[in-house]
Amino acid sequence: MTETLRLFLPGEEAVLESLEWKRKPDKIYLVKESDISKLRSFSNFQLVSERMLRKLTELKTSSSMAAEFSWKSTNIRDFPETGKFVLFDRIQDPGNVGSMIRTCFAAGISGIFLSPECAKLANPKTFRASRGAYFFMNIHEKTNIETARDFITRHNLKVFITRKNKGKLFSLPDNSLLIMGNEAKGVSREYNSLEHDNISIPMNDDCDSLNVSVSLGIILYA
């Protein structure tokens, strides 16, 4: 069974934007009574202290409101049989993970896998960066190498790994899995042990690397 996560979206701008999403918040927490009018017709709200709001969102900075959502990751058995998939290997910055999920949604990716060492989906910074893309994607968290290998084999997927100056840039074919590695260390040894082809983004010789979220966007839209 997949665990139901409580997700918190802090910040007035983000909360008010979420009221336009197809998936509405379950509840909104407010610090200021004067902000109630900003919620328009949304009625399930609660006034709380700044301290309580910081506790709920696990953020050190103050915010005037936060939206709460409930969400479940997709059971791997319910993933599509075919399509293009992306695996995040030890992506540790919450902003990167959230932005990458949003990019996958925009690009029509069929499913996302996150290794156990990735930034957590319940982290408010991850959720905020995704701009609600969680609710439109098949996402499996805490995917270990055995689970990934089994999925690759059962679905006969072609595996591609991002490597600097090894391989070339091309459009991902159908029935493929792209592995994006850690911001500093790249793809781990265990995933490099999978049978794969390399994919690389041409860069100026004086440029050491690109942000992993930017790199994903370039590859998915190649």
Q: Which of 136, 139, 118, 74 is nearest to 213 (CA)?
A: 118
Task: With cut-offs at 50, 70 and 90, classify the pLDDT of residue 168.
Answer: confident
Q: Please, what CATH class does the domain formed by 4-72 belong to?
A: alpha beta
Q: What is the pLDDT of residue 205?
A: 78
Q: Please, what CATH class does the domain formed by 76-220 belong to?
A: alpha beta
Total residue length of the chain? 222
Q: What is the pLDDT of residue 60?
A: 78
Q: Does pLDDT of 2 surpass 90? A: no
Q: Mean pLDDT over residues 119-144, rounded?
A: 94
Whole-number mean pLDDT of the chain?
Answer: 93
How do the domains of the chain map onto residue ranges?
A: 4-72, 76-220
- 59-111 pLDDT, tens digit per residue, is 777 789 999 999 999 999 999 999 999 999 999 999 999 999 999 999 999 99
Q: Does pLDDT of 154 surpass 90? A: yes
Task: With cut-offs at 50, 70 and 90, classify the pLDDT of residue 203.
Answer: confident
Q: Does pLDDT of 1 surpass 80? A: no
Q: What is the pLDDT of residue 104?
A: 98
> Cα(65)–Cα(34) distance, rounded to whole angstroms?
11
One fold for 4-72 and 76-220: no
Q: What is the pLDDT of residue 163?
A: 82
Q: What is the pLDDT of residue 161?
A: 95
CB 8 within 8 A of CB 127: yes
> Which residues lie closer than 8 Å to 146 by C-beta, 6 or more apart?
none
